[in-house]
Amino acid sequence: MTVRVRLAPSPTGTLHIGTARTALFNWLFARKKNGKFLIRIEDTDKERSKSEFTDNILKGLQWLGLDWDQSPILQSKRIKDHRLAIKYLLDKGLAYRCYTTEEELEKMREKQISNNQAPRYDNRHRDLSPEQELKFINEKRSSVIRFRIDDYESIQWNDLVRGKMNWLGKDLGGDMVISRRAESNEIGDPLYNLVVVVDDSYMEITHVIRGEDHIANTAKQLLLYKALNLNPPIFAHTPLILNTDGKKLSKRDGVTSIEDFKAMGYTPEALANYMTLLGWSPEEENRERFTINEASNFFSLDRVNKAGAKFNWEKLNWLNSQVIHEWEPEKLFKEIEPIMLKKGLKLPEKEWCVDLAELIGPSLTLINDCIDETKVFFEEPHLEKDAIDQLSLEGAKECLKLLLEELSKSPWDGLNKNDAKQLINNVVKNRNIKKGLIMKSLRAALLGSLTGPDLLSSWALLARIKKDQIRIKRVL
């Protein structure tokens, strides 16, 4: 049997981290099993579905490094099959028209709540006589179509994450609506549980891997598989992603969309790596850093946790910094260049920029940190307190003057790190100056603070764009 899995996103919003994680687990499972990873766009909610969301979802998946094995299927194109299935259920007496009005449903719900009962449809139109039905039709009532759910039907499946699952029909809220309200002789728009069953079966999906919020849907869908004489897939329900307070991660938590993570400066490699660890861990203990291609060799559903997966920003940040620190300076510059240009920075020649990238690379956690980390090379820095204190020490300014003198002796065009070192050593040796004093004072003058990137490399970079001497002179 070839494994066939799918992601079935609804294009009603941008790619959410929960959907992306579901996609990733499906992709990892498919790749591990040499199977197929498919996409079905569930665009049947005409009002809320937008093609720009479909684009956003597909681009986001690609950005994370996921690929799929066939062109995505649009659910809306398959409505004929969905209607045929509903018609089949109606013909077999497994589904029926329900004429209960919205008002009546509301009253029913209120009454149940006031009696401390869980709201459910009370199946009141399940067995209407032809006369009663005619009466409703003559009243020009619209109808939904409901699928019969026997209260005592037991529904069981072996979930690949959660083990044996047992449900009873009566826990599913009464007979289930499978098509939207329509004129009494029509079939309205088919609804989620029905279309998923018809489409998963059409796509020959062997394993449905999705979030645990779909567990009750699985119970309903299994009843539909049986009624439609279709073979159900195997199910695996993955844990929810929780925020740092242990509640379901939601829009209120701010960053939930993949494009938000991208905009903040997370790399696709780190984010995909991190999402793989959200609710799953590899057999090899303490192995946290890997590519998704590597993970596809050792991914298994039996190592997916049942408990919710708490979002851990520290771990994500650590992974992101690891990825960035592994990049060659050229690659890092390619990543930071658009961000710096967008910020309006005038970038000097490429070689200089690549050297700058190499210098600041180790201090980046997010790609976007490049703005703060390189600022000092583009704007004359404001002097921090530690720099002011340093420059007011006895002899501090003196030694900077000596350094300028030394600089003026030779042309030092294209001063590099070694030249910088040499110059300082000359002053230290010939003028009997403490190395610490000159180094710290120079740092204060050039970078405006006693902390920051490597001093000699920074000096060489500033010298190449002729900004070093100006900065030394301004503090004297």
Q: Please select the residue that binds ligand GLU; options are 3, 4, 5, 9, rule is CB under 6 A.
A: 9
Q: Which stretch binds ligand GLU (CB under 6 A): 5-13, 45-53, 111-119, 246-254?
A: 5-13
Nearest partner of 309 among 274, 284, 285, judged by Cα: 274
Q: How far is the CB of 40 from ligand GLU (least distance, A)?
A: 8
Q: Which stretch binds ligand GLU (CB under 6 A): 7-15, 133-141, 224-232, 463-471?
A: 7-15
**Residues 6+ positions from 374 with CB-CB distance below 8 Å:** 336, 340, 345, 356, 360
Q: How far is the CB of 7 from ligand GLU (least distance, A)?
A: 7
d(CA 452, CA 458): 9
Residue 214 touching ligand GLU (CB under 6 A): yes
Q: What backbone torsions phi and psi does residue 82 show, to the nearest 5 degrees?
A: -65, -45
Q: How far is the CB of 8 from ligand GLU (least distance, A)?
A: 4
Q: How far is the CB of 444 from ligand GLU (least distance, A)?
A: 56
Nearest to ligand GLU of 178, 370 (CB atom): 178
Nearest to ligand GLU of 98, 249 (CB atom): 249
Residue 210 touching ligand GLU (CB under 6 A): yes
Q: Where are the alpha helices (DSSP H) in 92-180?
A: 102-114, 130-138
d(CA 90, CA 99): 15
Pattern 267-296, binding to ligand GLU, x per CB under 6 A? ------------------------------
Radius of gyration of the chain (CA): 32
Residues 384-413 binding ligand GLU (CB under 6 A) are none
Residue 83 touching ligand GLU (CB under 6 A): no
Q: How far is the CB of 250 from ligand GLU (least distance, A)?
A: 14
Q: How far is the CB of 253 from ligand GLU (least distance, A)?
A: 19
Pattern 41-80, binding to ligand GLU, x per CB under 6 A? -x--------------------------------------
Residues 454-473 binding ligand GLU (CB under 6 A) are none
Q: State both tokens at 427.
A: 């002053």
Nearest to ligand GLU of 42, 419 (CB atom): 42
Question: Are the C-beta atoms of 156 and 166 separated by less than 8 Å?
Answer: yes
**Residues 6+ positions from 47 with CB-CB distance below 8 Å:** none
Q: How far is the CB of 313 from ligand GLU (least distance, A)?
A: 25
Nearest to ligand GLU of 86, 195 (CB atom): 195
User: DSSP 3-state assignment of 250?
Assistant: coil
The residue whose two tokens read 């920051």 is 452
Residue 308 touching ligand GLU (CB under 6 A): no
Could you tell me the strand order of the sheet in which 143-147 lies? 95-98, 143-147, 176-182
Nearest partner of 255 among 41, 14, 49, 58, judged by Cα: 14
Q: Which stretch binds ligand GLU (CB under 6 A): 4-12, 80-88, 167-175, 357-365?
A: 4-12
DSSP state of 280: B
Q: How far is the CB of 18 from ligand GLU (least distance, A)?
A: 9
Q: Which stretch binds ligand GLU (CB under 6 A): 2-10, 64-72, 148-156, 398-406?
A: 2-10
CA dihedral 430, 435, 441, 447 (to 10 degrees): 110
User: DSSP 3-state assignment of 255?
Assistant: coil
Residues 337-366 binding ligand GLU (CB under 6 A) are none
Q: How many residues bind ligand GLU (CB under 6 A)?
A: 7
**Residues 6+ positions from 80 with CB-CB distance below 8 Å:** none
Nearest partner of 85 among 235, 231, 229, 204, judged by Cα: 229
**How many whole angstroms from its chain centre is CA 136?**
49
**How many whole angstroms from its chain centre is CA 304?**
18
Pairing of strands 154-159, 163-168: antiparallel
Q: How far is the CB of 191 from ligand GLU (least distance, A)?
A: 12
Neighbours of 232 (CB within 10 A): 18
Q: Please select the residue that binds ligand GLU; options are 4, 10, 353, 354, rule is CB under 6 A.
A: 10
Nearest to ligand GLU of 214, 440 (CB atom): 214
Q: How far is the CB of 334 from ligand GLU (least distance, A)?
A: 34
Residue 8 touching ligand GLU (CB under 6 A): yes
Question: Are the C-beta atoms of 243 and 249 separated by less than 8 Å?
Answer: yes
The residue whose two tokens read 């098509």 is 179
Q: How far is the CB of 196 from ligand GLU (least distance, A)?
A: 5
Buried b (16+ CB within 10 A) or exposed e, 399-426: bbebbeebbeeeebeebbbebbeebbee
Q: Which stretch binds ligand GLU (CB under 6 A): 8-16, 257-265, 294-302, 404-412?
A: 8-16
Task: Enumerate binding residues for ligand GLU (CB under 6 A).
Answer: 8-10, 42, 196, 210, 214
